[in-house]
Structure 1
């Protein structure tokens, strides 16, 4: 239940075109809805400005479909993250119009295209091609949340001249997400070039001593660039959500 839907219901009641009883039925689950295996937070759109996002890992396709069936009544968009292709195919069969992005393991179901409500442009940068799946998860999340967004892929420090070729685009971004594995150096470089907030995303890409992304994570946390914040390993969704939150600060109220 988002702000627009709530206002619409209240306006209909005020005009007399919707009875109090029917409005009450529509608002029965405005807080949350218990469907045995999940307690769906329908209030999240009102509270946080965006619906609850379904974490697909560990859930069956039937459970995800059950949650989506209840959510789509109230929401304009539903996101599912960490979703493997075999589960996605079952969900797509149940919901016409659902789109699956295999590289990002990401699915969305939209009633309408998201309106651009962010105040600036978000830029997503990946250090390597192998980091693109996590970068795409961040990209799609921020896009779904109503942001103008662009991407630059495979511009890591092993060939730093590739990054500098995009200097104008980097400087003009309102918020930047930088995704990197290995030693995780790229966010520090990018943050040193700009005044914008930089959200660093360590990935689990790398050889043995990368320790599944721990080396990149620690390197980013120890960055000497002061405009960096770091999310968890492979957490493209968290980076996209935070970037959108920052990009909507001046629009809040």
Structure 2
């Protein structure tokens, strides 16, 4: 069920001075969703959280992703789908030629409107080339959320001189997303060099005792560097969302 009439009524009351801006926003935050049977689309997520609902595509059929994305686009939302396959994208491209696929990041997007880039820059720092799928998920997500992003890749601690050559650049970022597998040491090292918040992302890259990213996760949780927060294994999207919220404070 759609609530277009309710929204129009709230806007009319606000325009005529019957309710204030805060009251109007509060009412809109509480509006329900559209029920497609297999999914309930939360159109008011952007009002509450600053960005529309994001589609997690893994586990959904191409037809389901296509229908959710198309309904959101028709309502004027920017569309972002994570963990998307080429099959998801091809199904959506059949009905919307504005759909874009980022193959390394496994992200699909449709832009209904451009978002002005932020003044503050998010740095996406990755230890190795094997971490790039997670790093690109973070970088592309952050860009689609309207952030200015700078990538610094393949600067892991196995060749720490590569990282040290980027220190002055690292210190210019408002927030850093730091991605590493293996023993997950990179965020601790970066945390000792910069003053900005760091969001660490452990990846499942590594040999057996890496335990599919568990060892990197535990190492990051035990970081001795202050100001390092940690998201789940391979969760580049979650890191980008948090980094975006931090980056836009005061914008």
Structure 1 residue 76 displacement after superposition: 3.7
Secondary structure of 2:224's counterpart equals: coil
Alignment partners' CA distance in 2, 1:108 and 1:175:
24
Secondary structure of 1:86's counterpart equals: helix
Alignment partners' CA distance in 2, 1:182 and 1:11:
57
CA deviation digits over 1:134-188, x for unaligned, max 9? 0000001111111111001100000000011111110110000000000000000
Alignment partners' CA distance in 2, 1:14 and 1:172:
42
Within 5 A, what are the aligned runs for 1:58-69?
58-69=59-70
Counting matched residue pairs gives: 232
Match of 2:72 in 1: 71
Match of 1:179 in 2: 179
Alignment partners' CA distance in 1, 2:61 and 2:210:
32
Is 1:111 aligned to residue 131 of structure 2? no
Structure 1 residue 90 displacement after superposition: 1.6
Moved over 3 A (4+): 9-15
Alignment partners' CA distance in 2, 1:13 and 1:155:
52
Structure 1 residue 120 displacement after superposition: 1.1
Structure 1 residue 94 displacement after superposition: 2.0
Comparing 236-245 and 69-78, the one that deviates more: 69-78
TM-score, normalisation: structure 2: 0.87
Alignment partners' CA distance in 1, 2:184 and 2:204:
10
Alignment partners' CA distance in 2, 1:236 and 1:105:
11
> Do the aligned partners of 1:127 and 1:180 also contact (CA within 8 Å) in 2?
yes
Alignment partners' CA distance in 1, 2:142 and 2:228:
18
Within 5 A, what are the aligned runs for 1:1-253?
10=11, 14=15, 31-116=32-117, 118-251=118-251
CA deviation digits over 1:182-221, x for unaligned, max 9? 0000000001101100000000000000000000000000
Alignment partners' CA distance in 1, 2:162 and 2:202:
20
Structure 1 residue 11 displacement after superposition: 7.0
> Do the aligned partners of 1:51 and 1:75 also contact (CA within 8 Å) in 2?
no
Match of 2:25 in 1: none
Secondary structure of 1:249's counterpart equals: coil
TM-score, normalisation: structure 1: 0.87
Alignment partners' CA distance in 1, 2:12 and 2:157:
55
Structure 1 residue 12 displacement after superposition: 11
> Do the aligned partners of 2:177 and 2:199 also contact (CA within 8 Å) in 1?
yes
Secondary structure of 2:94's counterpart equals: helix
Secondary structure of 1:108's counterpart equals: strand
Structure 1 residue 31 displacement after superposition: 2.8
RMSD: 2.0
Secondary structure of 2:71's counterpart equals: helix
Gaps of 5+ in 1: 1-5, 16-26
> Do the aligned partners of 2:127 and 2:186 also contact (CA within 8 Å) in 1?
yes
